[in-house]
Structure 1
Amino acid sequence: MIAQPRIGHDEVFVLSKIFIERGSVLACASALLMIMSNNVVAQTQTWDLLSTAQRVLQEAPERGAAEAEVKARQGRLGQASVWPNPTVELGASNAMGKDDGKGGTDLNQFSISQPLPLSGRLGLQRKQAGANLKQAQANVDQQSLLLEYEAARVFHGLQFSYAQLNLAQQRLKSADEFQHIGQRREQAGDLSRLARLRLDLVRESAKQDMASAEGDFSESLSDFQTLLNMAAAEPQLVALDRFPALPPLLELEARLNAHPALMAARQGVESAGHGVAVARANRWADPEVWLAQERDVLGGRRQNAIAFGVAVTVPLWNRGKGNIDTAQANKQKAQLEVTGLQRQLGNRLRLNHLHLAHLVKQGREFRSRVLEPAEEVFQLSRKGFAAGQVEILNLVDAVDTYFSARVRYLELLKQAWLEAAALRRNAGLSLLNHEGTAQ
């Protein structure tokens, strides 16, 4: 019978350590795999205008600063109607010790006074603080509109540069194809050296366009990543291939009064109006009631005496007229700012709508009358050149016309989407609600 080997305590410890280390490695590998999977999922997200705006509002410090201002004004609202604190005074002297011959210093004075806000100032201050709070809340919505426009500008810029890069790649690919065809035809004696050199120039020109498009795309990608606070990864984007919808102008004008900038400006007028009332109330200082107790030597012995009274400030020299005039001027200024802002927003809204309608119409006509015919000419010239039926100058002209038309069409798309973003900004229309979801 063969004896079985026995494993001692040391061997058990070593084997356990090996298993634990291997288990840790497996656990780390599993965690790393999960992290990589999450990163892959995050990087494969397809970004559109809505998701870009959501990310910008989440990451932008400007919105956080506007929300912090709301909290600050909430604190001022809570403080606006608080009564002033009472004042307590204590005094000590050696007067009693000298009077009765006992000597020493004694606590012999105590008084308390309380200002009474009887002018209605606290209620007026609370109304003014409430208007300031509503103004800050409207400014948060206005800041969101500005951030959404910035998100649209950067997103559509990246869309355009990415589409332009793809177009440059297609142009370079077609130039390579024509160059190879030209080389074969030159070797076959079917194409002159001058024509083949012309194709080489076409190819080098396409290569330069490719380098320029790569640079523009890198800059747009950097702006996109910075604004969205993203890691250095190339995002997937929805294609820039259609024009935005054109909302009716009458509906936009009807909703203009609810524009966050106008609402904030109107709250500024209301706050300034309450400021005038506060300045008038401040002409009269708060009266103070006071109660005092003094201890002194009276009738040959130490006794307490109580006194009370009211202190009133007489507005003899300072009646606060300058403060009232300043508050009235601030109110007038705020009213004029509302009028000017309303006129400015209405004018910009009409111009944006007119320009967007023109771009949409121009883009559709350009596609049907220029881009599609240019594509047909390009395809026919491409096949004809391969078959030796199209001259080199006609081919070069067809290539330039087609790719220039595609670039121009992309420019019209980009301009239209940027104009739509400006239209939303000036109309006060947000892509997102207060919860950050689509509305």
Structure 2
Amino acid sequence: MFASSRRRPRLAVGCALAAIAATLASPVWAEPAPTYAALLAQLGQTPASREADALVDAAEARVRQARVRPNPVASLQAENAFGSGPFDGYANAETTLAFSQDLELWGRRRARVAAASADAGTSSLERNLAVIDTAGRLALVYAEAEAAERRADLADEGLTLALADARAALALVEEGREPVLRGIQAESEAASARATLDEATAERDAAFARLTAVAMLPAPVTAIKASLLDQAPIRAMVADDTVPTVRVAEARLTAAERRIDVARINARPDVTASVGLRRFEAEDATALTFGVSLPLPLFDRNRGNIDAARAEYRAADARLAQAKQDATADRAAATARLSASTSRVSAADAGVTAAEEAYRLSRVGFDAGRISQLELRTSRAALINARNAAVDARLARVRAEIDLARLEGRAPFEGNI
């Protein structure tokens, strides 16, 4: 009775393990992703980069437009024509052809060009910042895809180890050295490992899809060959005033100051000069006309626009002060995170080495019957957790490198590629 009752669960466990193992034998075709360096070289083709380039082109076009002088105005005027009495018909008419030109006094054109040039400089710095942000996003998506692939590989290896341990437990059950319950537990552990692998595979496929979309690749990515997680971060210390966000804030402050000058000059009268030729039909004679016109600043002195420009300047100055404070704090935080993540990677690698040795010794002891299945399962779980912790540590190091690279105005890992 005992032998037959043992055989039925063993058979069920063996069939379940065979079904799980069969799913691992399917062939895999991989389409490796381009290297991070290759993707970084094509960064200018991304939508964010193209948008930033277009905004720079628009700003430069406004500078060219600001340099253009206003067009002259031509006017043709007829007086004393087609009236009554002596003004019947066109015989006594006076016809005047005149041209008028805005003189743009008070440095109006120079201030307009300076304001447009300041806006163009801001757009150029914003484009550089947008490119850096895009490079950081690309590095993060690439590293996350690689991390997801490693986790899937670790889950696959964990399933392989669980199946091997389950077979060993099944052999002990068959020999009568372990109760049937151990075989059922082994089947449950293998099924759990299979579920973990399915979840990790789904996360890997989703990460590959995100990388394909962000990098604008023509074919879906199914594998990553060139590692970014193993890249060593670089340190390029720069001054706080050269941080891209600070430089953008400074450029915006300069542009706001230029707009104050424009508003002040626009409050002055806009002088227009004119010259013309008048034809006197009755006398069959001609004469020149000339004059100057300007508005009288009785009601509108552009005070509202001047006050608004000054308020915008104060706001830009406050944003610059905030940007400098943030740059100092963010640099200290990013440097600390990078140092901590580097130490974490070293510790995690040491933990993996220790966990591998512990699992090897546990497996030897289990096969010899010196330790229990519970101890073997614990050492296997510790090994899998240690390897996943090593992946997490490398991903944290990449994130720290991305944050520091943005503050230093460069692409992540730019010095290593």
Bin the TM-score by the shorter chain: 0.7 to 0.9
Structure 2 counterpart of 1:326, one-letter code: A
Instruction: Rate the CA distance shift 1:385–1:239 in 2: closer, same or farther, 3 A.
Output: farther
TM-superposed CA distance for 1:166, in Å, is: 0.4
What are the residue-to-residue correspondences of 1:37-436 with 2, within 5 Å? 43-44=31-32, 47-48=35-36, 50-55=37-42, 57-92=43-78, 95=81, 103=89, 108-230=95-217, 231-239=219-227, 242=230, 244-245=232-233, 247=235, 252=237, 254-298=238-282, 301-368=283-350, 370-431=351-412
**Is the Cα contact below 8 Å between 2:244 and 2:408 reproduced in 1?**
no
TM-superposed CA distance for 1:409, in Å, is: 1.8
1:102-132, Cα deviation, whole Å (9 max, x unpaired): 7369782322111101110111111122211
1:275-313, Cα deviation, whole Å (9 max, x unpaired): 111111111232111123333454xx4433432111122
**Is the Cα contact below 8 Å between 1:96 and 1:296 reproduced in 2?**
no
Give 3-state SS (helix, strand or coil) of 1:95's partner. coil
Q: Distance in 1 between matches of 2:227 and 2:318?
A: 45
**Is the Cα contact below 8 Å between 1:284 and 1:313 reproduced in 2?**
no
TM-superposed CA distance for 1:376, in Å, is: 0.7
Q: Distance in 2 between matches of 1:359 and 1:191?
A: 44
**Is the Cα contact below 8 Å between 1:345 and 1:427 reproduced in 2?**
no
Q: Which moved more, 1:60-69 or 1:352-361?
A: 352-361
**Is the Cα contact below 8 Å between 1:100 and 1:297 reproduced in 2?**
no
**Is the Cα contact below 8 Å between 1:96 and 1:302 reproduced in 2?**
no
TM-superposed CA distance for 1:44, in Å, is: 4.6
How many residue pairs match? The answer is 386
TM-superposed CA distance for 1:99, in Å, is: 5.8
TM-superposed CA distance for 1:93, in Å, is: 6.0
TM-superposed CA distance for 1:256, in Å, is: 3.0
Structure 2 counterpart of 1:149, one-letter code: G
Give the corresponding residue for 1:37. none
Identity of aligned residues (%): 21
Q: Distance in 1 between matches of 2:342 and 2:117?
A: 45
Instruction: Rate the CA distance shift 1:428–1:256 in 2: closer, same or farther, 3 A.
Output: farther
TM-score (structure 1 length as normaliser) = 0.81
Structure 1 counterpart of 2:365, one-letter code: G
**Is the Cα contact below 8 Å between 1:77 and 1:126 reproduced in 2?**
yes
TM-superposed CA distance for 1:81, in Å, is: 2.4
**Is the Cα contact below 8 Å between 2:95 and 2:279 reproduced in 1?**
yes
**Is the Cα contact below 8 Å between 1:96 and 1:297 reproduced in 2?**
no
TM-score (structure 2 length as normaliser) = 0.85
Q: Distance in 1 between matches of 2:110 and 2:153?
A: 65
Give the corresponding residue for 2:20. none
What are the residue-to-residue correspondences of 1:16-55 with 2, within 5 Å? 43-44=31-32, 47-48=35-36, 50-55=37-42
Instruction: Rate the CA distance shift 1:96–1:202 in 2: closer, same or farther, 3 A.
Output: closer
Q: Distance in 2 between matches of 1:381 and 1:155?
A: 36
Instruction: Rate the CA distance shift 1:174–1:240 in 2: closer, same or farther, 3 A.
Output: farther
Q: Distance in 1 between matches of 2:173 and 2:87?
A: 133
**Is the Cα contact below 8 Å between 1:243 and 1:360 reproduced in 2?**
no
Give 3-state SS (helix, strand or coil) of 1:91's partner. strand
RMSD of aligned alpha carbons? 2.6
**Is the Cα contact below 8 Å between 1:89 and 1:110 reproduced in 2?**
yes
Runs of at least 5 residues in structure 2 that lack an aligned partner in the other structure: 1-29
**Is the Cα contact below 8 Å between 2:234 and 2:413 reproduced in 1?**
no
Runs of at least 5 residues in structure 1 that lack an aligned partner in the other structure: 1-41
TM-superposed CA distance for 1:268, in Å, is: 1.3
Give the corresponding residue for 2:18. none
